[in-house]
Amino acid sequence: MGNSRLWGNDMKINEIFYSLEGEGAWQGYPTIFIRFAGCNLNCDWCDTDHTCHEKMDIQKVLMELEKYPCRRIKITGGEPLVQNVKLPFLIKVLKDNGYLVALETNGTLFEWICFSRVDLICMDIKPPSSKEESVFNVITRTYKEFRDKTEFKIVISDLKDLLFAESYALLSDIILMPNSRNGFDKRIIEEMKTRFPESRFGLRLHEVLDIK
C-alpha cells in the first residue's frame, strides 16, 4: 500500500483532547489523547461512546494535534488495535513528527508493528469483575518481547479480582488499581497490601482531580 492511500485512510476517532495522564508511568504529565471508537470487548466500566465518532484521516489528526502545546500522546479507546490497518502508519507519522507515543490496549490482540513503534505499551488485563477476558498468550508474548516498555494494570473491584491478579503478580511493573466505583473499599485495599507487598498500586489521577 502506498503512503498516499494510507494518508487518506479514514480512522474512527471518538475524540481528541488535552488533559493530564491519569495512570501509570506517565501519570501527571500533560498528554494529548486520541480516543479511537470501536472495541472487541464490552467492559462494565468502559467510558467510551462507540456510537459517536468522526472519520478522520491522518492529516486531519495532525492538524488537531497542532492545537496543543504538547509532544506526548496517548492512543486509547475503545481498543485502538481493532483499526490495525491504519494504526501502524499513524504511529509512524506521529514518531516522525517528534511525538512520544503511548498505546493503551486490552490484552486481547498482539500487533508487533504497533508495539515495536510506540514508546510505551499500557496493557489492561481484564479481571472477572469486567465480565470480559484478556488473552493469556497475548499478555505473555508482550511480556517476553516488550517487557522493557510495557506496563500491565489490573483494576481491582473485589476479592475475586485479587485472586485473579495473583496469576500476574510477577509481571514487570504491574499496577493494581482499586476501582473508584466501589468507593475505594478499604477492605480490598488492605487485602491488596497483604497479598501484593511488592506490587505497585495506582489511582486514576483524572478521577481524583475530577477532570477529563
CATH number, domain containing residue 140: 3.20.20.70
Over residues 4-49, the pLDDT tens digits come to 555 556 899 999 999 999 999 999 999 999 999 989 988 766 666 7
Q: Residue 29: which domain range?
A: 3-153
14 in a structural domain: yes
- Does residue 88 lie in a domain region? yes
Is residue 101 assigned to a domain?
Answer: yes
Residue 190 lies in a domain: no
Residue 161 within any structural domain of the chain: no
CB–CB of 153/175 below 8 Å?
Answer: yes
173 part of a folded domain: no
| Cell numbers standing for residue 13 | 476517532
Q: How many domains does the chain contain in total?
A: 1
> Does 61 fall in a domain?
yes
- Whole-prediction pTM value? 0.90
Are 123 and 142 contacting, i.e. CB atoms less than 8 angstroms apart? yes
Q: What is the pLDDT of residue 45?
A: 64
Q: pLDDT tens for residues 89-130?
A: 999 999 999 999 999 999 999 999 999 999 999 999 999 999
